[in-house]
């Protein structure tokens, strides 16, 4: 029987970032001797009861780990290496067919080099006594073999029941019975500052225990595959490659999250760890177990964050909710009467503070069900019922931009614009008529860019430069513009809302 040598690959998503350290100068002064020290600012008044400390001592995690540790598993995967790069890669000479050295190098480049299987390590935890296990999708993707090792050192070959890259959650199954299982907690009850415990296999050191506190909840993490549908739990519990897929426990010994990502400029722990809330993972788990895939809801809107400037422009008391920048024609939101520049404040009674919370909320609603949206429009609230439809993996294509013609200058905005011809509008598939040709002053500070098409101003459509001038004249201190921009790298267009100060 032939043998292979497996090289170790520690599995984990690492989001690379630049870390900066701020240092403040320190100074010291010699205090003169005094018969008695001055009372501390937080001392109780004379004769009063001593202040009760808000925190007493440090927790002992030993009993918790003893109780929950047996349900945490090590996950080892085997996958084949990628073959050597495409023709021409690594060739120091020309790819010219007449180059004799080129033929020489191509001869070797087309040969398989190293097909040694590659081994990856991650973590997971048992959610049912008959062998269902949760882990991360990125731990088991492209695996040809998955092995699960329990704390009692028994090993099982696991089947990948299903995986979902949008949430980075995967469900495994091993052939076993009467297994220890974890208890599922409620991540919505987590509070920044409370203790949490991570158990996993960092760098393949199995059943390693680390602890920290919840740093933040509802955190949007750009750069991972799951950020559109997951608002992460941020902790400072040390998590390293190999911890991926392992559980995050609260102090009741309940799983509140799945450790998934870290922020680092080294590839190792740097104080920022992110876990997928277990309620999201449980929704995915149930669907994977039932059908092998995940169905999500959509309402057909594009959204953006509500800034302080937008909140002030719309008469909202403070920045909150999700601002609607575009509505898909004929989609659920369009049929329900939602419009660009509406602000969605809640879904089925659940308040929205950050715009990043909305996609996960809508995605978790069963297609065909109705969602009650509280929206802000015209400096007042109203409720709209939207029938959620199934999210399909497709992109809506539209184009914007244009060149030529003379520009008009709107000095109070620092904005130069011109009108698009009918042929340009047809070519660009845009309903707008006014394109930005140059920005300066307030418009540049607001982030407007040349090539963007202005669709509306202060909730009214703009069909000409004259209409835009009228809107600016009547705007007051600021004007809210709905603009359409073309993303060449994605090949589509997006709408956004921009507030510009009027000089």
Q: Once rounded to an integer, what is the mean pLDDT over residues 274-288?
A: 95
Closest CA to 281 of 303, 248, 252, 250: 248
41, pLDDT greater than 80: no
**In terms of DSSP H, where are the helices of 401-464?**
422-428, 442-445
Q: Are 387 and 332 in contact (CB under 8 A)?
A: yes
Hey, where are the domains in the chain?
1-14+61-83+113-294, 297-390, 408-501
Q: Report the pLDDT value the prediction gives residue 221, as an integer from 0 to 100.
A: 78
Mapped to the 3 state alphabet, what secondary structure does 183-237 carry? EECCHHHCCCCCEEEEEECHHHCCCEEEEEEEEEEEECCECECCCCCCCEEEECC
Q: Report the pLDDT value the prediction gives residue 18, as an integer from 0 to 100.
A: 37
Query: What is the dihedral sign for C-alpha 115, 116, 122, 126?
Result: positive
Longest dimension (CA), the chain: 98
**Model confidence at 22, in pLDDT bands (50, 70, 90)?**
very low
Percent of the chain with pLDDT over 70: 74
Give the long-range contacts of residues 30-37, CB within 8 A, separation 24 or more: none
What are the pLDDT digits (tens) for 153-170? 999 999 999 999 889 999
**Do 1-14+61-83+113-294 and 297-390 show the same overall fold?**
no
471, pLDDT greater than 90: no
473: helix, coil or strand?
Answer: helix
Q: What tokens does 413 get?
A: 């905005």
* β-bridge pairing 7-10 and 297-298: unpaired
Closest CA to 458 of 435, 485, 477, 436: 477
Our answer to whether residue 168 is catalytic in this structure is yes
Our answer to whether residue 63 is catalytic in this structure is no
Q: Which CATH number fits domain 1-14+61-83+113-294: 3.20.20.60, 3.40.630.10, 2.40.10.120, 3.40.50.300?
A: 2.40.10.120
Q: Report the pLDDT value the prediction gives residue 87, as an integer from 0 to 100.
A: 40
**Facing residues of 484 across strands?**
453, 495
Top-level class of domain 408-501: mainly beta
Our answer to whether residue 440 is catalytic in this structure is no
Tell me the fold of 297-390.
Pdz3 Domain (2.30.42)
**Residue of 104 and 152 predicted with greater confidence:** 152
- Total-model pTM: 0.68
**Picking from 58-72, 99-113, 471-485, which range would have the lowest pLDDT averaged per residue?**
99-113
Mean pLDDT of the chain: 80
d(CA 249, CA 30): 47
CA distances from 169 to 202, 255, 476 (A): 19, 15, 49
Q: Cα–Cα–Cα angle for 314, 299, 388, nearest 5°? A: 130
147, pLDDT greater than 80: yes
User: Which of 164, 167, 168, 400 is flagged as catalytic?
Assistant: 168
User: Which of 215, 244, 273, 433 is flagged as catalytic?
Assistant: 244
């Amino acid at each position: 029987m032939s043998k292979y040598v497996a090289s170790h690959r520690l599995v984990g998503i690492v989001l690379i970032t630049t870390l900066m350290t701020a240092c403040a100068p320190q100074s010291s002064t010699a205090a003169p001797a005094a018969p008695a020290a001055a009372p501390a600012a937080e001392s109780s008044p004379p004769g009063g009861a001593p202040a009760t400390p808000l925190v007493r001592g440090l927790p002992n995690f030993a009993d918790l780990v003893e109780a929950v540790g047996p349900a945490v598993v090590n996950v080892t995967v085997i996958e084949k290496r990628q073959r050597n790069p495409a023709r021409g890669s690594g060739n120091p000479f020309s790819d010219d067919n007449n180059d004799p050295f080129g033929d020489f190098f191509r001869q070797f480049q087309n040969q398989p080099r190293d097909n040694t299987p590659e081994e990856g390590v991650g973590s997971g935890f048992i959610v049912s006594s008959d062998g269902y296990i949760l882990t991360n999708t990125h731990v088991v993707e492209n695996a040809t073999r998955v092995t699960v090792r329990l704390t009692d050192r028994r090993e099982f070959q696991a089947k990948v029941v299903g995986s979902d890259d949008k949430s980075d959650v995967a469900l495994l199954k091993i052939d076993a019975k009467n297994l220890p299982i974890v208890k599922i907690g409620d991540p919505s009850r987590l509070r920044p500052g409370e203790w949490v415990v991570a158990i996993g296999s960092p760098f393949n050191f199995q059943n390693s225990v680390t602890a920290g506190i919840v740093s933040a909840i509802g955190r949007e993490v750009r750069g991972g595959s799951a950020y559109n549908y997951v608002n992460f739990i941020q902790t400072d519990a040390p998590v390293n490659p190999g911890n991926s897929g392992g559980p995050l426990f609260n102090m009741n010994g309940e799983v509140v999250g799945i450790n998934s990502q870290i922020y680092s400029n080294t590839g190792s722990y740097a104080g920022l760890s992110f876990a997928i809330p277990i309620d999201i993972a449980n929704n995915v788990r149930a669907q994977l177990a039932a059908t092998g895939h995940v169905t999500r809801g959509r309402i057909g809107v594009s959204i953006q964050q509500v800034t302080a400037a937008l909140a002030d422009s719309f008469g909202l008391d403070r920045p909150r909710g999700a601002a609607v920048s575009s509505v898909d024609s004929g989609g659920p939101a369009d049929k329900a009467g939602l419009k660009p520049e509406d602000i969605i404040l809640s879904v089925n009674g659940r308040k929205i503070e950050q715009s990043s919370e909305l996609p996960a909320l809508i995605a978790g609603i069963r297609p065909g069900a109705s969602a009650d949206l509280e929206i802000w429009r015209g400096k007042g609230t109203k409720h709209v019922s939207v029938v959620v439809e199934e999210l399909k993996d497709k992109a809506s294509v539209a184009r914007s931009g244009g060149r030529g013609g003379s520009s008009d200058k709107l000095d109070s905005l620092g904005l130069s614009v011109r009108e698009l011809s009918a042929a340009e509008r047809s070519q660009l598939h845009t309903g707008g008529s006014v394109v930005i040709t140059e920005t300066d002053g307030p418009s540049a500070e607001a982030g407007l860019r040349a090539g963007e098409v202005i669709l509306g101003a202060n909730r009214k459509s703009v069909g000409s430069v004259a209409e835009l001038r009228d809107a600016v004249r009547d705007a007051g201190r600021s004007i809210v513009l709905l603009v359409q921009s073309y993303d060449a790298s994605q090949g589509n267009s997006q709408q956004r809302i921009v507030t510009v100060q009027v000089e």
